[in-house]
Amino acid sequence: MPTPRFGVPTRLLASLAFGTVLNPLNSSMIAVALVPLQREFGVGVATSSWLVSGFYLAAAVGQPLMGRLVDLLGARRLFVGGLALMCAVCAAAPFAPGFWWLVGIGVLMAVGTSTAFPAALVLIRTAVESGDRVAGQKSAGSPGNGSRPPSAALAALTVAASTSAALGPVLGGFLVAFAGWQAVFLVNVPFTAAGILLAVRLLPRPPAHSAGSEPFLRTVDLPGLLLFSATLTGLLVFLLSLADRPQWWLVPAVVVLAAVLVRQELAAPAPFLDIRGLVANRALSSVLGQQCGVNLVFYCVFFGLPLWLGSVRGFGSDTVGLLILPLALMGVLMTPVAARVVSLRGSRATLVFGSAVLLAGTLVVQLLHASSPMIVIVVAALLFGIPGGFNNLGLQTALYEASPPERMGSSGGLFQTFRYLGAILSTSVLGIVFERDLSTRGLHHVGWLMTAVAAVLLLLALARHSGRRRHVGSGDTMSIADGEAT
C-alpha cells in the first residue's frame, strides 16, 4: 500500500475511519430521536434519556475493556468484531418490542463502537513501526517505541470523528423527519457492512505467532475486569444523579469497590488495570487527567451555552444551532493546523497553545450578558473551537508517545473513558448550577469553574517535557530519558 504524507497507508487510514466515526456519530445522532421515541413507546423524558445515558455509560466502561482485548486478542480481530456487532444490533433495533430493549441495543452499540479507537491506535503504530523497519530508520532514542508520532494520521482520524460528531444531529434530524426514528439505527447497517468489507480486505493480518484464545484465557484478569466495570459504573451513575436526585449510597459502595480493585490489581500477575504502571508513568497519567479536564470544559460550553442562549436570551433552536456551529467547525478546521504544529514543535507546544486559548475563552464567558451583542457570542464560540483541534490532537500524540507499545490498546481505551468522564462531569456541573440558577449569573459561575480547570490544564501542559522517550526493560512501565516519568 502506498504511504503518503499521512505516514501510514491511505487505504488503511480510510478503513479505520469507518470504525472511528461510529461512536461520536451515533452518540450525537441518537439524541435527536428521543422525542419520537417517547411518542412511539409511551415513555417520559426521564425514561427516554436512558437511551443516551446508557450509551455513554457503556462506552465509558467498554472502551478500556475493548482496549485490553485489543492488546490480548489482536486489533484486526476486535475491529472487525466490533463492526459486526454494531451491524447486527442496528439491524434488529426497529423490531425492538419495548423501549428498554432499545436501551439494551444502545448499550451493545456502544460496546461495538468501543473497539475502533484502541484498535486504530494499535494498527497505526504497527504500520509506522513496519515502515520504520523497512526504511531502516528505527533508533533506540526515538519516542516510545522508536517511531515518530504519526501526527498526520491521527489528525485525519480526529477530523473524521469531529466532523461526524458535528454532523450527527443534522443527519439524525433529517433521517427522523423523512424516515422515522428507525432510520437512525438502520443507516448504520450499510455503513458498517462496507466497513467490514474494507477491514477484511485492507487491515493487515496478525502474525502467525500472535496470541490466541488459550493465552488470552490464561492471562485475562477477570476479577480486575469485573471490579473495574462495577467501580466505574457506580461512579458514573452517581455523577449522573447529582443533577436531579443524588444517589449518596453509591459513594461508600464506590469507595469499597475501588479499594478492592486496587488491592486486586496490585496482586494480579497480569493486571487488567496496570496501577503500578500508571503511577510510575507520570506522562501517561497526566495525559489522562488532561483529557478529562479538556472535555469537562468543552462540554460545559457545548451543553451549557445553548441552554443559556435559549432560556435567557430567548433564541430559537435554529439560531442557537447557528451560534454554536463555529465551535464545532473551528475545531475541525484547526486540526490540520495543529498537525503541522505537532510535526514542527511537538505535542507540548500544541497543548500549551490549546490550553492558553481555552483559558482565554473561559474568561470571555464573563463578558456574556443578557444584552451582549451577537458578535461577542460568536467570538466566544470561536475561541472555544480553536483549542478543540489543538488539544485533541496534542493529547492523542502525547498518548502515543507515553504509552508502552504492549499497552497501546488499553491506554487508548482509558483515554476515551476519561473523555466520557469529563463529559459526564460537565452534565453534573450544569445540572447542579442551572437547576438552581439558569441565568447569566449561573453561566458566570460555571465559567469561573471552567477558568480554574483551564488554568490547571495550562500548568500541566507547561510542565510537560519535550525530550524524546525510550523504553527501559520489557515491563509495562517505562522510563523517560529526560526524567518525565520513571
Helix (H) / strand (E) element for 372: namely: none
* Cα–Cα–Cα angle for 217, 223, 229, rounded to 5 degrees: 110
Query: What local confidence, expressed as pLDDT, does residue 433 receive?
Result: 85
Query: What local confidence, expressed as pLDDT, does residue 459 receive?
Result: 95
Return the SS3 of 480: coil
Query: What local confidence, expressed as pLDDT, does residue 6 receive?
Result: 52
Query: What local confidence, expressed as pLDDT, does residue 151 receive?
Result: 66
Query: What local confidence, expressed as pLDDT, does residue 173 receive?
Result: 79
Query: What local confidence, expressed as pLDDT, does residue 79 receive?
Result: 92
Query: What local confidence, expressed as pLDDT, does residue 148 receive?
Result: 56
Query: What local confidence, expressed as pLDDT, does residue 163 receive?
Result: 77
Positive or negative, the CA dihedral 121, 479, 278, 359 is: negative
Query: What local confidence, expressed as pLDDT, does residue 142 receive?
Result: 44
Query: What local confidence, expressed as pLDDT, does residue 217 receive?
Result: 56
- Of residues 51, 158, 157, 144, the one with CA closest to residue 106: 51
Buried b (16+ CB within 10 A) or exposed e, 184-223: bbbbbbebbeebbebbeebbeeeeeeeeeeeeeeeebbeb
Q: DSSP of 434-455, one letter per residue?
A: HHH--SHHHHHHHHHHHHHHHH
Instruction: Collect the ranges in the chain with pLDDT lower than 70.
Output: 1-8, 45-46, 130-151, 207-219, 243, 317-318, 465-486
